[in-house]
């Protein structure tokens, strides 16, 4: 899959939903309230590492993709990254639950790409109907600096390589 967005392009406008971390979420008796994140406003002037997964809590995403980003969080920050975000087609409550399960507390934002709208604009949606998943985000990673793409790679097959934490760190 070749994305329609390329290095040097400005990212298209996009609004994600997410549930910001708050202490009342810690005991898991609250769900939080989703808010909107307008990337054109929030990410202007910032260095952002964004990676996308087909689904929260799914085997490769949960075991192999997100954990290295958590483990290497300080390395990303040391390279000047302002925001690290994971995107999936799951709703904001599921993404928040995944983030709470992983103890992220907004160190890594868990963003919902509702109906895969933003990823589709980039040519990065994936039809997983054969697995009863419907349309999802492809597994990809981007480095965005002041809304301009500096790195974009899509996994060529199963597993995590070009969208993983080590590959992205090497490009910063």
What is the structure's pLDDT at 155?
A: 79
* Element holding 157 (H helix, E strand): none
The residues annotated as belonging to the active site are 61
- The whole-angstrom separation of Cα 106 and Cα 114 is 19
CATH, domain 15-171, list 3.40.30.10, 3.40.50.720, 3.40.50.1000, 1.20.120.80: 3.40.30.10
More confident residue, 159 or 7: 7
Spatial CA neighbour of 54 closest among 154, 118, 126: 126
Q: State the pLDDT confidence band at 79, using cuts at 50, 70 and 90.
A: very high
What is the structure's pLDDT at 40?
A: 95
Give the pTM: 0.89
Q: Per-residue pLDDT tens for 110-156?
A: 999 988 788 878 888 666 556 656 566 778 999 999 999 999 998 78
Q: Per-residue pLDDT tens for 17-72?
A: 999 988 888 887 788 889 999 999 999 999 999 999 887 777 565 656 788 999 99
Question: What are the domain boundaries of the chain?
Answer: 15-171
């Amino acid at each position: 899959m070749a994305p329609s967005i390329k290095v040097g392009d400005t990212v298209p406008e996009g609004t994600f939903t997410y549930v910001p971390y708050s202490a009342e979420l810690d005991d898991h008796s609250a769900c939080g309230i989703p808010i909107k994140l307008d990337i054109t406003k929030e990410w202007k002037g910032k260095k952002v590492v964004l990676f996308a997964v087909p689904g929260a809590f799914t085997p490769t995403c949960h075991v192999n993709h997100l954990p290295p980003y958590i483990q290497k969080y300080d390395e990303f920050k040391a390279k000047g990254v302002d925001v690290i975000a994971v995107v999936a087609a799951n709703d904001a409550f599921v993404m928040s639950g995944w983030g709470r399960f992983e103890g992220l507390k907004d160190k890594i934002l868990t963003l919902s790409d509702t109906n895969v709208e933003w990823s589709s604009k980039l040519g990065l949606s994936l039809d997983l109907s054969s697995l009863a998943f419907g349309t999802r985000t492809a597994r990809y990673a981007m480095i965005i600096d002041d809304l301009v793409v500096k790195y974009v790679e899509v996994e060529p097959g199963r597993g995590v390589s070009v969208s993983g934490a080590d590959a992205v760190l090497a490009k910063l």
